[in-house]
A and B are shown apart, each in its own frame.
Chain A
Amino acid sequence: AQTVTQSQPEMSVQEAETVTLSCTYDTSESNYYLFWYKQPPSRQMILVIRQEAYKQQNATENRFSVNFQKAAKSFSLKISDSQLGDTAMYFCAFETLMEYGNKLVFGAGTILRVKS
């Protein structure tokens, strides 16, 4: 069974600094997708960034980038120039293939607090 592990329950960072959130996963599949979602107090899960496993190049979306190490099954998220609005719960998710359609397997989440 696929699992996703986020080893940091909580993290804090000063505004404008850089922070890295860790994520490891376990799968026997060779082709899959990985995601980072953010869930602010408004509860809506917002897609931050996605990575295709067959692409070696790390995905980047503005201040957000990932360090994807396929062999190590590691998928960390780096947030540069942290802003107060980045305060949220961050979930790493792995998309697992099922017979028909797919589903997401989520990690337990990391609470990120950005301090002014």
Chain B
Amino acid sequence: AQSVAQPEDQVNVAEGNPLTVKCTYSVSGNPYLFWYVQYPNRGLQFLLKYITGDNLVKGSYGFEAEFNKSQTSFHLKKPSALVSDSALYFCAVRDLNYGGATNKLIFGTGTLLAVQP
């Protein structure tokens, strides 16, 4: 079964420092990977996705993610954190159980990013 794991419930970083939010995946076949962000009392917003191609994917708000097939990871990164980046971040993988005909996403448990001024 497809799954993603976010090993950290919370990540704390000082404003201006680089940040990393970790995600590892388990899929049978080529993974389709996504990152979403959720601000308080809001729905999830799409940040970026990896389907194929370059391992470094650039997304919204200065975020990027690196696909690493050997480590089955898709960590989210940003060179310089902002206080406004504080939110809940979700990694997701597309479920391939229907032979590629589905767009169902399986989400991780989320990582709360706290950026201190």
Instruction: Say whether A and B bind each other.
Output: no
Residues of A in contact with B (beta carbons under 8 Å apart): none
